[in-house]
Amino acid sequence: MKIQLSEHFSYSKLLRFVFPSIVMMVFTSIYGVIDGLFVSNYVGKVPFAAVNLIMPFLMILGSLGFMIGTGGSAFVAKTLGEGKEEEAKKHFSMLVYVSIAGGIILSVIGIIVIRPLTIAMGAEGEMIDACVVYGRILLIAITPFILQNVFQSFFVTAEKPQLGLGVTVAAGLTNIFLDFLFVAVFKWGLEGAAIATAISQSVGGLFPLVYFIKKNKTPLQLVKAKFDKSVFFKTCTNGSSELASNISMSLVNMLYNFQLMKIAGEDGVAAYGVIMYVNFIFIAIFLGYSIGSAPIVSFHYGAGNHDELKNLLKKSLFLIGSFGVILTVAAVGSSGFLSKIFVGYDKELYEMTCFGFRLFSLSFLFSGLNIFGSAFFTALNNGVVSALISFLRAFVLQIIMVLLLPVFWGIGGIWFSVVAAELLALFITLYFLAAKRKDYHYA
């Protein structure tokens, strides 16, 4: 039976509604990991390190989609909650058109600056060429990638999370099959991995575009729409937390790679790449829950249902906290196995990766609550608080920790930096949840 945004949510109903979004994000993370897995095992350690070095830059450009998707879906869901369906369609359409235009512009800029940027990040020799080749191929597909990020949120707002999951699974299976074909069978190397990812991103971004162009049974459809500065500004403000989070995370990843190049060289960058790949899978559960639950919060906020806001916050904090404990135990327990899949061919690199991942895994105890806290305020259309949580968590605190802790603990300090940053950020999240409880009547 279809679950609507307007319903009262029990634990089981809430989990059923967000489950497609969780699976969607996990699957997105898994097929993102496939590139690294094939490159590491079939192409080599240096190309694998090159992928990890250039990926933060590509994610910065793709973060436009996260900002418009999360900020726009919250605004559109609130408009639907107010009973203004036609207005919601126009807002949705305008934001999609802006995403396409922005993607084209970013693609051109990225192709121009990628080589000097790669050199500035510390790459040398064959690593520079590997970064440029991989990056330029993916930059051609940056517009579909942005659209994929946009539609992940809007599928939930359209009350079609299962369809969003189906699109993600289709894109993921495309990437896995083509990675195997291009890299393992045809031996196309790094270029093959990049082409496989670019094609899969096109599947994930263009199919939803076609779906929403046609008439459908959802409250959302692409229609003629003029650029609305106020709506776009509200979307950017509201989604600024996700933009700040993604950009900050990417910049911090660049700093991690820079520090690791100094302390451990290419092995350190490769080990960090493995940890980040696996981290994406675990973090995807928190992100999926936040994406899936945000339109519910926005709808009931727009409808003035304060009791349901209380209910959603209480249940969400319990569920996210439980997920954090389970994921931490699972991550520590599986660190050896997961590290071996990627770098089992190199004993020293394997031991470095395994040690780093066990320390890093402790961050899951706190990161889920911070991710949800930021998303919760985005859903309440309070982009300022949401952005502040994300900026302090993903940028300021992590930079302080990654610069400070290695002085006392060497490479161990780098692995533990994110744990310390997430713990400090949790106090900030809890402070804002307590400080704003009377403003939004959720406690």
| Average pLDDT of span 399-424 | 92
Distance CA 52, CA 277 (A): 9
Distance CA 377, CA 372 (A): 9
For 367, the 3-state DSSP assignment is helix
| Polymer length in residues for the chain | 443
3-class SS shares of the chain: helix, strand, coil, % to 5: 85, 0, 15
According to the model, what pLDDT value does residue 1 have?
A: 56
pLDDT-wise least confident of 73-87, 99-113, 180-194, 423-437: 73-87
According to the model, what pLDDT value does residue 109 have?
A: 97
Following DSSP, what letter does each residue of 397-411 receive, concatenated? HHHHHHHHHHHHHTH
Residue 5 has pLDDT above 80, yes or no: no
Residue 260 has pLDDT above 90, yes or no: no
According to the model, what pLDDT value does residue 295 have?
A: 86
pLDDT in tens, 98-120: 999 999 999 999 999 999 999 88
pLDDT-wise least confident of 48-62, 179-193, 234-248, 330-344: 234-248
Query: What percent of the chain has a predicted confidence (pLDDT) above 90?
Result: 43
| Average pLDDT of span 352-374 | 93
Per domain, the residue ranges of the chain are: 11-440
According to the model, what pLDDT value does residue 251 have?
A: 82
Pick from 418, 402, 405: which is nearest to 370 by CA?
418
Q: Return mean pLDDT, the chain.
A: 88
pLDDT in tens, 264-313: 877 888 888 888 888 888 899 999 999 888 888 888 888 888 888 899 99
195 with 186: CB under 8 angstroms?
Answer: no
Amino acid occupying residue 180? F
Which of the two residues, 186 and 260, has the higher pLDDT score? 186
Radius of gyration in angstroms for the set of CA atoms belonging to the chain, rounded to a whole number: 21
Amino acid occupying residue 22? I
Residue 241 has pLDDT above 70, yes or no: no
Query: What percent of the chain has a predicted confidence (pLDDT) above 70?
Result: 98
Residue 85 has pLDDT above 80, yes or no: yes
pLDDT in tens, 394-411: 789 999 999 999 988 888
Distance CA 159, CA 76 (A): 12
Distance CA 198, CA 246 (A): 20
